[in-house]
Structure 1
């Protein structure tokens, strides 16, 4: 009797699992997770497109990244150390390094570097601090931090 009860329970559990199997549409949306890097790429590709607003994405640092990504191919130049954006509790700074005292990249590439920082250096309390090079420029360090 116990054996048949366990068998019946197992069949019931299996039937519920089969009925609850996700569709391809659900699986696709679950596997496509939010990435700041992809968010920046979306803004660069279409600044007026259906992109998350900075408020929807997170906060002050994101608003700065949004601003930089919307500048398109404009030049973001770091003369030793240069502030590219400051917004309330966040600042994005460019630091020239690698033996050079000034360097430049497109603001889009600075935003890409900042997006990488957001993906890898955002903490559970929604604060972020970190640095990564501007996309394609190993002499321009993009640093997200609290303004001094």
Structure 2
């Protein structure tokens, strides 16, 4: 009888333990469209570059299942943040920073991180290993965030990641993440 009660109590305890979450993250997707190259187009001539909506549509129109072939190295997806940015808000921020850079505006980076753009559910933060305000043309921040978009954009239209920039020095770390 004691063994039977033990078995029933063990069964009840097992039923009370929640099952592990089996939902998987939306997969990373590949597109022939490059947000990093789009920033170069904005820098060259913002009047003829694709708009935010056109860039997002061009990206989505060329998605395929080729995997991560030819992707940029030095970009980390989802490493330092659990919040992902919404794709359209991220594209808006990249466009905003690229246009600021085209006008000669400088973006700051600091040892604790400086928010260079916050729009909707997106935040682009620049960080450097040295304390003190360091400045770089906003194009460099936009281009680095574009590299994150190229590697870390997901099937559910979200993105989060970080990368070093601007090339060739790579003294700044740019985080593209979900905002409040």
TM-score for both structures, normalised by structure 1: 0.71
**CA–CA separation in structure 2 for the residues paired with 1:90 and 1:132:** 16
Q: How many aligned positions are there? A: 114
The structure with the largest alpha-carbon Rg is 1
Unaligned stretches of 5+ in structure 2?
Answer: 1-30, 57-87
SS at match of 2:123: strand
Is 1:89 matched up with 2:87? no
C-alpha RMSD of matched pairs (Å): 1.6
**CA–CA separation in structure 1 for the residues paired with 2:151 and 2:92:** 17
Identify, as 1 or 2, the structure richer in helix: 1
The aligned counterpart of 1:131 is 162
**Conserved? CA contact 1:121–1:130, under 8 Å:** yes
**Conserved? CA contact 1:44–1:69, under 8 Å:** yes
The partner residue of 2:141 within 98, 104, 110 is: 110
The aligned counterpart of 2:65 is none
Relative CO higher for 1 or 2, CA cutoff 8 Å, sep ≥ 6? 2
Q: Which runs of 4+ in 1 moved over 6 A?
A: none
**Conserved? CA contact 1:104–1:140, under 8 Å:** no
TM-score for both structures, normalised by structure 2: 0.59
